[in-house]
Structure formats: C-alpha cells, structure tokens
Amino acid sequence: MLSGPLPTGAITGARERDRAVGDPYLLVVDDDPDVRTLLRIVLAKMGCQVRESHSGAQALDLARRRPPDAMLVDLWMPGMSGADVVHTMGTDPELAGIPVIVATGDTEASAVPGAFATVTKPFNLDRLRRTVWRAIGSRLPGN
C-alpha cells in the first residue's frame, strides 16, 4: 500500500504533460466550500495537486479538459448528483478509466455502481488517505 507521495514519473497518462511529473492530480467535487477546503488541505499534504469543482457538470467539463488521476465526488449535490457523475463518466470513453471515490454523509447509502469506493462524512482521514492512494495506484501500469 502506498503511504506517501508517488515516486517521480510513477503516474502515466495521455495528458501527463499537463501536470508536474509525479504529482498525482485529483479533482474534488462538492457543493460545500468547507468540505472542498478540508479535502484540498488533506490531499495537498499527501503531495497531490488538487482542483476543486462546486458541481457535477463543472467537474465533467474540467475532467475532459485535464483528466485527473482520481476524483472525490459528493454523492448528494444539487443538479447533477455524484451518482450521475459516475454514470456519465462510465459512458464517456475519455473519462471511463478515472477512478471516482464517492463521499456521502448518508451512512445507509449503498455503493454507487461504477464508483471506485465510497467514503463517509465526517471523514476518517486515515481511511480517506488509504482510499485515495488505492485509487491513484489503480491507474499505475500493471494494476
């Protein structure tokens, strides 16, 4: 299991030139700015580059322009829900391979089909970190 920043050059992808070599790039999608800020701080301390989005539609646009290594998406957002984002990504050849971690405050929520994993709010930061590293690792060659 990964426990820190990935070695330089470990992430590969069609648009790797768009980011600093070796820095995992994550897209955080949540309508709550406080949650986005918390996640940005936690992920940055993990050595990740983070881009934020306040909506599912905006996130899909950002992901098409610069595909992230993984996405962390709130399940319940106005307009396009996290489940809608996961479904749309699964049907889009440009986005289908990006692992999506769904975040929800609903402890009774079932797994979202097509999502890489689900994490609950309030976040257990150790579990969140492990889940993010697993998602990033799933994109490495041989996984």
Q: Is the Cβ–Cβ distance between 73 and 102 less than 8 Å?
A: yes
Query: Using 50, 70 and 90 to split pLDDT, how confident is the model at 143?
Result: low
Query: Using 50, 70 and 90 to split pLDDT, how confident is the model at 114?
Result: very high
**pLDDT, tens only, 81-95:** 999 999 999 999 999
**pLDDT, tens only, 4-59:** 444 333 333 333 334 445 789 999 999 999 999 999 999 999 999 999 999 999 99
Burial letters for 109-138: b for 16+ Cβ neighbours within 10 Å, e otherwise? eeebebbbbbbbbebeeeebbbbbbbbbbe
Q: What is the model's pLDDT at position 112?
A: 92
> Which three-class secondary structure state does DSSP give residue 1?
coil
Alpha-carbon torsion angle 40, 42, 44, 50, nearest 10: -30
Q: Is the pLDDT of residue 60 over 50?
A: yes
Query: Using 50, 70 and 90 to split pLDDT, how confident is the model at 142?
Result: low
- The dihedrals phi and psi of 13, each to the nearest 5 degrees, come to 170, 165
> Which three-class secondary structure state does DSSP give residue 52?
strand
The whole-model pTM stands at 0.82
- Average confidence (pLDDT) over 107-121: 89
Burial class (CB in 10 A: 0-12, 13-18, 19+), 19: middle
Query: Residue 38, Cβ neighbours under 10 Å: how many?
Result: 18
Identify which has the larger pLDDT, 22 or 112.
112
* Mean pLDDT, all residues of the chain: 86
What is the spatial order of strands in the sheet that 100-104 belongs to?
49-53, 25-29, 70-74, 100-104, 117-120
Question: What radius of gyration, in Å, describes the C-alpha atoms of the chain?
Answer: 14
**Cα–Cα distance between 100 and 117 in angstroms, integer?**
7
